[in-house]
Amino acid sequence: MQEHRTMAEQQIESLLRGPQYETVQTDKEYFLVPLFRDLCRDMSENCPPYGRFLERLGTPIHNWQGLADIPPLPVTMFKHFELRAVPISQVVRELRSSSTTSSAPSRIFVDKTTAFRQARALAAVLKEHIGGSRRPYLVLDSPDSVQAGDQLSARGAAIRGIGSFASSVHYAYQTLPDGDLVPDFDTIESFFADYASAQPLLFGFTYIVWTRFVLEMEKRGLTFGASGATMLHSGGWKKLIAQAVSKEEFNSRTAAIVGCSPKAILDFYGMVEQVGTVFVDCSAGNKHAPAFADFIVRAPYTLNPVEIGEEGLIEVLSVLPASYPGLALITEDLATLLGAEDCPCGRKGRYFRFTKRVEMTELRGCGDVFAQSRERP
């Protein structure tokens, strides 16, 4: 047992240390499947609910032939269950999702091993997209999002993670007592005055970037001429889709404010349930899995992997989680599988584009819910 754990640890180390996008899909599966078998077996022993989940809904672990054979745990389960594979004394940080679409946030228990892997993984991925040098970092959020203590929101975790690439950190917003964010124009203008030519790094949540940065700056006619800047952003597109803002429009108008190329506006797909495992836009606008992770786009009903060109539910697989069962998670997001091994950017493996969140169907009809609370008396 100890021997295979050590071996798994070595394999994860080698994945984090090596190049992130150079392995073709078949080789990747060949390497990752046995590793996931070991990791899932350990996880099922250390987290009994996960063991039950695998036993009740999967085939025996030794029968898994491909990554698609691993039963994916729905990501929302972290809202309903306290899923831990380590004693609470070993938890160094509890991550919490925002609870915008649900009253209960996800609770993710991170131990030292997982935290270390997550930090290294994020650095390994971002390094391949934005380079390894430290840059002035403008956070398009408020310092309150990165609260002190052992609990951290999804926003806070992302802000901190990207912070490892920062030579200095500046917060562009302040939180009002009602929770709203207001731009700190002095900080924003002085940041760009000082660092516009120093290849600054910007990060914010997509909706905040659009509503609090792009629209606010456009209203005031402000642009910053930071031609070497890179902006990373992440988070839901639902509200932007509702406002009919396409990714292309988002990129071009954001780039016009910052003063950089639209290709330097990089969306990444990630979630608090898998911090460190991020899928960053490549130069062709597609998303690839890093070496230590993978994704599967699954068809509705059959849940089989889709063919190229088809849309399906996104499942993300990552070797990073050691303290909670986040190894294979199926989301409520949809993506189109665009291809494998032939992305114009040159990265290997499969690639996808996020499309939207799953929406409630019109077909549910009158046989709907029992909950009385949904009816007015």
Partner 1 sequence: MRITQFLPTGKRFSDSLMPLLDELRQNSSELAGIPVARLLNLFDDFGGKLLQHPETKTLDGVAFLSTWLRKSNLEGMLRMNLGGSPEFLDGFLPVGSVKLAAKPRGLVSMWMAGNVPTLPLFSLVQALSAKNVCMVKLALENQPGMIPLLTVLSQCEVAGLNGSTLFKFIAVVWFDYKYQDLNEELSWAADTKIMWGGGPALKAISALPRREHCTEIAFGPKYSIGLLDRKRLERSEGFDNVISAFVRDIAAFDQRACSAPQTIFLEKNLRLSLRQVAELFAHQFRRLPPKLSLDFYTTVRIINVRAEWALDDQRDLIASGPEANWTICMDSTISMKEAVQSRTIFLTEIDSWRQILSLITPKIQSVGIAFGDPSDAEAFANEATLRGVARCVRPGLMNGFESPWDGKLLISEVVRWVSLKG
Residues interacting with partner 1, by CB under 8 A? 48-50, 52-53, 56-57, 71, 73-74, 76-77, 80-81, 83, 300-304, 313, 330, 332, 334, 358-372, 374-376
Question: In this structure, which amino acid lies at residue 201?
Answer: L
Minimum distance between the CB of residue 236 and partner 1, rounded to whole angstroms?
16
| Distance in angstroms (rounded) separating the CA atoms of residues 125 and 16 | 9
Minimum distance between the CB of residue 374 and partner 1, rounded to whole angstroms?
6
Residues in the chain: 377
Strand partners, 103: none
Q: Which is nearer to partner 1, 223 or 304 (CB)?
A: 304
Q: Which is nearer to partner 1, 40 or 157 (CB)?
A: 40
Return the SS3 of 167: strand
| Cβ neighbours for 276, distance < 8 A, ≥ 6 positions apart | 117, 118, 119, 120, 121, 122, 161, 318, 320
Tokens of 242: 């509702």
Minimum distance between the CB of residue 328 and partner 1, rounded to whole angstroms?
12
Minimum distance between the CB of residue 132 and partner 1, rounded to whole angstroms?
39
Phi, then psi, of 236 in degrees rounded to 5: -65, 145
Strand partners, 136: 168
Residue 3: how many CB atoms within 10 A of its CB? 7
Q: Which is nearer to partner 1, 1 or 363 (CB)?
A: 363
Minimum distance between the CB of residue 298 and partner 1, rounded to whole angstroms?
9
For the chain, count helices (H), then strands (E): 11, 17
| Distance in angstroms (rounded) separating the CA atoms of residues 291 and 269 | 16
Q: Which is nearer to partner 1, 49 or 143 (CB)?
A: 49
Q: Which is nearer to partner 1, 250 or 324 (CB)?
A: 324
Q: Which is nearer to partner 1, 272 or 335 (CB)?
A: 335
Residue 70: how many CB atoms within 10 A of its CB? 23
Q: Which is nearer to partner 1, 177 or 365 (CB)?
A: 365
Minimum distance between the CB of residue 80 and partner 1, rounded to whole angstroms?
6
| Distance in angstroms (rounded) separating the CA atoms of residues 222 and 56 | 57
CB 351 within 8 A of CB 296: no
Phi-psi domain of 131 (left: phi exceeds 0; alpha: psi -120 through 50; beta: other): left
Pairing of strands 73-74, 328-340: parallel
Pairing of strands 350-357, 201-205: unpaired
Minimum distance between the CB of residue 321 and partner 1, rounded to whole angstroms?
16
Q: Which is nearer to partner 1, 149 or 367 (CB)?
A: 367
Match 């972290």 to its residue by tokens. 78
Q: Which is nearer to partner 1, 107 or 120 (CB)?
A: 107
Minimum distance between the CB of residue 108 and partner 1, rounded to whole angstroms?
15
Tokens of 291: 């070496």
Minimum distance between the CB of residue 125 and partner 1, rounded to whole angstroms?
27
